[in-house]
């Protein structure tokens, strides 16, 4: 699916929208699709079940015996459709209906009547546990179509026992819409009776739990089942970064390209003992596809930065006695900034008082697009009135500790309400906030937010943020008229590079410079995945 509407700071910038909707909003989407746009609810159910069957056939082709656990609601109806379609493809399918068939209503009852064979109807927990049913549970794959988005706790005893059977087995489980027992509106991991899921196939738009609640370690697929864009309305103002929308920024380049076509980023940072941070940011600029990258750093550590990669250009700056950039470097940095596409400031720059003063002055005086990170952000602790992006492009990329210092609260407060804190700061300071962490958030000055689904715990190591700073600056340099989309692309590719490298080095051994190695494959996968008909993460 692809959603697009104009939200950019530049009125010509069109941004991707895959809205996250609440459970109630999802019900409204389905009603609107049928009542206003004339798509029968039975067609939506048929399309949903077909999407599940298609996923099974493409990702579990070897599964010959499939058991479908179905509740009595519409989630069960989706399961009936999937069962029928899998049977038509030659699979041996057993439907376990956790209800009396007489209790089925509406579309679910119609789809039950279309099953090609008899289902095993189970009316009680005792019946579910009988030896008579045990042979029916032997399978290569389970489909969980017991409870869907409309579920509200608690889970009934019969359904809980069915969930327990799935959770205790070693058989792969595919959740239809959402794992049974999950609260679709939850925005954090849930401690309750929830079915295990090796993958999820959901429909039309994700709910908060699909994105935030760690419901599966496998894929989450969002299938288009027929609802038009106009029917998908949400008050959350929250979206998912999807591959298909950022891919156009990394598509094939014109044959007559030269380095001057792709921008020049100036990275100001580094200090005694932290020169590598600025160098990593500078190299990430190039790996993101930018034409030129210059690292301006204290003259005593210039050799360290210059030796990091031969492609980097470097500039020595006046320094303090502590080996940090001095306020006397102001004029030189202003001169270097002329003709540059973007300034990235902060990686390894230190918290020296002179250097912090320099950072604040540069942010106030320079009007070129700017990405501020690390100690560049800490320079504004207690002085956030000086951090304002009105009338310009200003991007900040804090981790929770830096966000807490800027917001004047504790890290725990940030983590309890990551979205609220990031939104408030973005609105009050008229800038783009990239709040790093699990499910990195990217928030526009108007409060509209995007959630990133790439990345992994192995990236919780020093320097990965410096890589992101360089990537964000590099993508903006290449796409000055699509600034926000460029930031979304940088965040997505950064996390994906981490996922690529986890496959070869694991989570424990992953280090920041591994991301530089993983970026080419991240670019390739992003472009390849964008050609698929469904959205997944």
What tens digit of pLDDT does each residue of 520-534 get? 999 999 998 877 766
Instruction: Identify the CA nearest to 78 among candidates 145, 141, 159, 30.
Output: 145
Q: Is residue 215's pLDDT more than 90?
A: yes
Instruction: Identify the CA nearest to 167 among candidates 109, 102, 130, 215.
Output: 215
Split at pLDDT 50, 70, 90, the class of 4 is very low
What tens digit of pLDDT does each residue of 163-196 get? 999 999 999 999 999 999 999 999 988 777 899 9
Shared domain for 391 and 281, answered yes or no, is yes
Shared domain for 209 and 280, answered yes or no, is no
- Output the pLDDT for position 8: 34
Shared domain for 175 and 305, answered yes or no, is no
Within-domain flag for 8: no
- Output the pLDDT for position 192: 79
- Output the pLDDT for position 14: 55
Shared domain for 339 and 467, answered yes or no, is yes
Split at pLDDT 50, 70, 90, the class of 474 is very high
| DSSP code per residue over 414-480 | HHHTHHHHHHHHHHHHTSEEEE-STT-EEE-TTS-EEE-----GGG-STTHHHHHHHHHHHHHHH-T
Within-domain flag for 118: yes
Within-domain flag for 241: no
Split at pLDDT 50, 70, 90, the class of 16 is low
Shared domain for 430 and 300, answered yes or no, is yes
Shared domain for 182 and 38, answered yes or no, is yes
What tens digit of pLDDT does each residue of 258-281 get? 999 999 999 999 999 999 999 999
Shared domain for 271 and 217, answered yes or no, is no
- Output the pLDDT for position 30: 97
Within-domain flag for 9: no
* 3-state SS, residue 222: strand
- Output the pLDDT for position 293: 98
For the chain, give the percent of residues with pLDDT over 70: 97
- Output the pLDDT for position 412: 98
The CATH number of whichever domain residue 341 belongs to comes to: 3.40.1190.20
What tens digit of pLDDT does each residue of 90-120 get? 999 999 999 999 999 999 999 999 999 888 8
Shared domain for 49 and 106, answered yes or no, is yes
CB 204 within 8 A of CB 222: yes
- Output the pLDDT for position 15: 61
Shared domain for 341 and 436, answered yes or no, is yes
- Pairing mode, strands 65-70 and 141-145: parallel
What are the φ and ψ backbone dihedral angles of 80, each rounded to 5 degrees?
Answer: -60, -45
Q: Is residue 407's pLDDT more than 90?
A: yes
Shared domain for 267 and 183, answered yes or no, is no
Split at pLDDT 50, 70, 90, the class of 7 is very low
Distance CA 105, CA 177 (A): 19
Distance CA 227, CA 224 (A): 7
DSSP bridge partners of 292: 264
Shared domain for 388 and 345, answered yes or no, is yes
Within-domain flag for 10: no
- Output the pLDDT for position 132: 79
Distance CA 46, CA 536 (A): 20
Identify the domain containing residue 160 by its residue range. 20-236
Within-domain flag for 505: yes
Within-domain flag for 84: yes
| DSSP code per residue over 299-358 | GGGHHHHHTT-TT-EEEEE-B-TTSSB-GGGHHHHHHHHTT-SEEEE-TT----HHHHHH
- Output the pLDDT for position 451: 98
Look at residues 221, 236, 251 and tell me which one is the last residue of a structural domain.
236
Shared domain for 219 and 326, answered yes or no, is no
Task: Give the pLDDT mean for 201-219.
Answer: 95
Split at pLDDT 50, 70, 90, the class of 9 is very low
Look at residues 175, 203, 236 and tell me which one is the last residue of a structural domain.
236
Q: Is residue 302's pLDDT more than 80?
A: yes
Query: Please, is 67 exposed, middle or buried when counting C-beta atoms within 10 Å of its C-beta (0-12, 13-18, 19+)?
Result: buried
The CATH number of whichever domain residue 145 belongs to comes to: 3.40.50.10260
What tens digit of pLDDT does each residue of 340-385 get? 999 999 999 999 999 999 999 999 999 999 999 999 999 999 999 9
Within-domain flag for 288: yes
What are the φ and ψ backbone dihedral angles of 185, each rounded to 5 degrees?
Answer: -95, 0
Domain count, the chain: 2
pTM of the model: 0.93
What tens digit of pLDDT does each residue of 433-451 get? 999 999 999 999 999 999 9
Distance CA 209, CA 190 (A): 9
Q: Is residue 11's pLDDT more than 60?
A: no
- Output the pLDDT for position 189: 81
């Amino acid at each position: 699916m692809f959603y697009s509407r104009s939200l950019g700071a530049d009125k010509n910038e069109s941004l991707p929208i895959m809205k996250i909707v609440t459970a109630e909003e999802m019900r409204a989407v389905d009603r609107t699709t049928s009542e206003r746009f004339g798509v029968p609810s039975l067609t939506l159910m048929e399309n949903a079940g077909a999407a599940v069957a298609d996923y099974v056939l493409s990702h579990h082709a070897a599964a010959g015996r499939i058991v479908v656990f179905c509740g009595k609601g519409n989630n069960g109806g989706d399961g009936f459709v999937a069962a029928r379609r899998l049977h038509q493809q030659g699979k041996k399918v057993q439907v376990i209906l956790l209800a009396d068939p007489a209790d089925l209503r509406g579309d679910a009852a119609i789809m039950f009547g279309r099953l090609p064979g008899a289902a095993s109807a189970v009316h009680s927990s005792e019946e579910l546990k009988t030896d008579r049913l045990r042979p029916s549970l032997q399978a290569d794959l389970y489909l969980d179509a017991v409870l869907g988005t409309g579920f509200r706790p608690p889970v009934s005893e019969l359904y809980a026992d069915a969930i327990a059977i799935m959770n205790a087995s070693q058989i792969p489980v595919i959740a239809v819409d959402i794992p049974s027992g999950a609260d679709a509106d939850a925005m954090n991991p849930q401690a309750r009776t929830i079915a295990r899921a090796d993958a999820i196939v959901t429909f039309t738009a994700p709910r908060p739990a699909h994105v935030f609640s760690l419901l599966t370690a496998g894929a989450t697929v969002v299938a288009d089942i027929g609802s038009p864009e106009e029917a998908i309305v949400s008050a959350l103002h929250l979206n998912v970064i999807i591959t298909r929308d950022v891919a156009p920024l990394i598509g094939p380049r014109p044959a007559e390209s030269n380095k001057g076509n792709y921008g020049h980023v100036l990275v100001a940072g580094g200090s005694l003992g932290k020169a590598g941070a600025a160098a990593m940011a500078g190299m990430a600029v190039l790996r993101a596809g930018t034409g030129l990258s210059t690292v301006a750093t204290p003259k005593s550590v210039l050799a360290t930065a210059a030796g990091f990669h031969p492609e980097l250009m470097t500039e020595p700056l006046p320094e303090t006695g502590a080996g940090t950039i001095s306020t006397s470097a102001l004029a030189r940095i202003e001169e270097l900034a002329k003709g540059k596409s973007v300034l990235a400031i902060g990686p390894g720059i230190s918290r020296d008082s002179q250097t912090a003063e320099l950072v604040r002055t540069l942010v106030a005086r320079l009007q070129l697009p700017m990405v501020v990170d690390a100690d560049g952000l800490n320079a504004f602790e207690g002085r956030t009135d000086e951090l304002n992006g009105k009338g310009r492009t200003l991007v900040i990329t804090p981790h929770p500790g830096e966000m807490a210092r800027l917001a004047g609260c504790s890290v725990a407060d940030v983590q309890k309400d990551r979205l609220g804190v990031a939104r408030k700061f973005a609105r009050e300071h008229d800038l783009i906030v990239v709040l790093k962490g699990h499910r990195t958030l990217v928030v526009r000055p108007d409060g509209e937010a995007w959630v990133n689904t790439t990345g992994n715990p192995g990236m919780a190591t020093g320097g990965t943020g410096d890589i992101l700073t360089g990537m964000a600056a590099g993508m903006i340099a290449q796409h000055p008229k699509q600034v926000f989309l460029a930031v979304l692309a940088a965040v997505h590719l950064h996390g994906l590079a981490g996922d690529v490298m986890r496959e070869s080095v694991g989570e424990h051994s992953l280090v920041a410079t591994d991301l530089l190695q993983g970026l080419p494959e991240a670019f390739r996968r992003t472009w390849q995945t964008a050609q698929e008909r469904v959205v997944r993460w």
